[in-house]
């Protein structure tokens, strides 16, 4: 059965304190992995797609990496505006997505 597990469930950071979020998956025939950001009361917003092991993508203070078993989202020198829930998802057939439960990140000044 396809499973996506994210850790930790919640993360509280001081502004400037770098950290990493983990997304591990058991999916047969992986065809990529997505990272989304979700703000309270909003829908998920696309951040990155990673297609193969070893691939890295960056956007401002965020960097996503992918191995054969897991993906990491590194947040470097976070700011309060980086506070959000970060979701990872793997694509199944027909564009369906299998989501992890998310990591809620709070960055305090």
Partner 1 sequence: NAGVTQTPKFRILKIGQSMTLQCTQDMNHNYMYWYRQDPGMGLKLIYYSVGAGITDKGEVPNGYNVSRSTTEDFPLRLELAAPSQTSVYFCASTSDRGTRVNTEAFFGQGTRLTVV
Interface ranges with partner 1 (CB under 8 A):
4, 9, 31-32, 34, 41-46, 49, 51, 87, 89, 91, 94-102
Cβ closest to partner 1, residue 29 vs residue 109: 29
**CB 15, min distance to partner 1, A:** 26
**CB 46, min distance to partner 1, A:** 4
DSSP string, the chain: --EEEEE-SEEEEETT--EEEEEEEE-TT---EEEEEE-TTS--EEEEEE-STT-EEEETTEEEEE-SSEEEEEE-S--GGG-EEEEEEEE-GGG-EEE---EEEEEE-
Cβ closest to partner 1, residue 78 vs residue 102: 102
């Amino acid at each position: 059965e396809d499973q996506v597990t994210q850790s930790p469930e919640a993360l509280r950071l001081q502004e400037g304190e770098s950290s990493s979020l983990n997304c591990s998956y058991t999916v047969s025939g992986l065809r990529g992995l997505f990272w989304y950001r979700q703000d309270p009361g909003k829908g998920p917003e696309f951040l990155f797609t990673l297609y193969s092991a070893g691939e890295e993508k960056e956007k401002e203070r965020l960097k996503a990496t992918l191995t054969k078993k897991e993906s990491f989202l590194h947040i470097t020198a976070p700011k309060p505006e980086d506070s959000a829930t970060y979701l990872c998802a793997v694509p199944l057939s027909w564009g369906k997505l299998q989501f992890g439960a998310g990591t809620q990140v709070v960055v305090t000044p």
